[in-house]
Amino acid sequence: MARTATPVTGRLAWPIVAGAVLALAVLVLPLLALVVRAPWADLPALLASSAVLEALALSFGTAILATAICLVLGIPLAALVARAESWATLPRRLLRAAVTVPLVLPPVVGGIALLTLLGRRGVIGEWLDRVFGVTIPFTTGAVVIAQVFVALPFLVFAVEGALRSSDRRTELAAATLGASRWQVFRHVTLPIVAPGVAAGGVLCFTRALGEFGATITFAGSLPGTTRTLPIASYLAMQTDPDEAVALALLLLAVSVVVLLTLRDRWLPGATA
């Protein structure tokens, strides 16, 4: 018995169609332009340069690590945010705002905030430097931290959405069958929201891969250490727009491929 019936698809009114087409054009045309403008003939040479490969490897490595951290931290936070439904209004809104802010904040501002916290003269960073001799900015770790900062909300909201739309009574049923709270989470809650986790992880990864502003502000830009693909692309704009377009195209291709393959593999079917 299906819980939701499929509604008969009516024809959309023309302003809706027109608006949708326009919206799609806004989203797709710039990317199409990138494809059209790409220096296809020189592309292999441009992309095979060691600087590009270095940036690509750094981007992938840091984005994967950032996604892993987001999964470990974001799933519990999503569970808390979903549970906050039953809280009083103010703490609930504060929690939600705290999760949303990095999403709407210009990433550069996020980078500045990270510097004021973890920079050499930062609130925590000063102490880290003095006590442990550890400084975070300009390290690959700083790249990962910046990526986690901007990408975490994507994971939290995807998982929280899945949690909210899941039937919470399955958790109660598990409890009556002898499952402890942790077992309920591990054996029921988490597997049921797995598609949401996968979708969130993919979004999180692509966001981390594309992260620019917070990274360049907090981590700087040194080839092989902190210069990720988006930063390399931005710098290429200074001298060689062709290379910049090539790099942008590479980022676009990676994002599209990741979104397409993972979505197909993870999203449908898991709850069919």
Partner 1 sequence: MIGGVGMTDAARTRPGLDVDVSLSYGPTRIAAAFAVRPGHPLAIIGPNGAGKSSLLAAVAGLVPLDAGTVSIGDRRVEALPPERRRIGVVFQDYVLFPHLTVRDNVAFAARMRGPRAAARAAAEPWLERYDLIALADRLPSELSGGQRQRAALARALAAEPDVLLLDEPMSALDVEIRGDMRAELATHVREFGGATVLVTHSPADAAMLADQVLVLERGMVTQRGTLDELRAAPATPYVRRMLAASEA
Partner 2 sequence: MPRASRPRGAAALAAAALALTLTGCAPTADQPGGSTSPSEPTGAAATGELGEADLTVLAAASLTEAFDALAGQFEQANPGVEVTVSYGGSGALATQVLEGAPADVFASAAEPPMQQVVDAGLVSAPEAFATNTLELVVPAGNPAGVTGLANLADPDLRIALCDPSVPCGAASVELLANEDVTGAPDTLESDVKAVLAKVSLGEVDAALVYRTDVLAGGDAVDGIEVPAAAGVVNRYPIAALTESPAPGAAAAFVAFVTGDAGRETLAAYGFGAP
Dig out the tokens for 34 from the structure.
Answer: 């990138």
What are the start-end ranges of the H helices in 119-211? 125-132, 140-165, 169-176, 181-184, 190-192, 194-210
Residue 217 token pair? 């502000």
Question: CA 65 to CA 57: how far, in whole Å?
Answer: 12
Buried b (16+ CB within 10 A) or exposed e, 223-240: eeebbbbbbbbbbbeeee
234 near partner 2 (CB under 8 A): yes
Site string for partner 1, 84-103 (x = CB under 8 A): --------------------
User: Which of 5, 238, 269, 272 forms a contact with partner 2 (CB under 8 A)?
Assistant: 238
Quick one: tokens of 254? 């990676």
* Distance from C-alpha of 89 to C-alpha of 50, rounded to nearest angstrom: 53
Rule CB under 8 A: which of 180-199 touch partner 1?
Answer: 180, 183, 187-188, 191-192, 194
- Does residue 222 bind partner 2 (CB under 8 A)? yes
By CB under 8 A, name the one of 101, 167, 253, 264 that touches partner 1.
167
Q: What is the total count of residues that contact partner 2 (CB under 8 A)?
A: 33
Candidates 141, 220, 259, 262: give the one binding partner 2 (CB under 8 A). 220
Eight-class DSSP state of 178: T
Q: What minimum distance in Å lies between the beta carbon of 42 and partner 1?
A: 49
- CB 68 within 8 Å of CB 147: no
Q: Which of 7, 15, 30, 178 binds partner 1 (CB under 8 A)?
A: 178
**Cβ(141)–Cβ(226) below 8 Å:** no
Q: Are 102 and 149 in contact (CB under 8 A)?
A: yes
Please identify, among the stretches 12-20, 146-154, 160-168, 208-216, the one whose residues bind partner 2 according to the rule CB under 8 A: 208-216
Compute the least distance from the CB of residue 233 to partner 2, in Å.
Answer: 8
Min. distance of Cβ 182 from partner 1 in angstroms? Answer: 10
Q: How far is the CB of 165 from partner 1 (least distance, A)?
A: 12
The one of partner 2, partner 1, none whose footprint includes residue 172, by CB under 5 to 8 A per kind, is: partner 1
Residues 220 and 138 sit within 8 Å (Cβ to Cβ): yes
Nearest-angstrom CA–CA distance, 183 and 188: 8
Per-residue string for binding with partner 2, 108-147, x by CB under 8 A?
Answer: x------x---xxx-------------x-xx---------
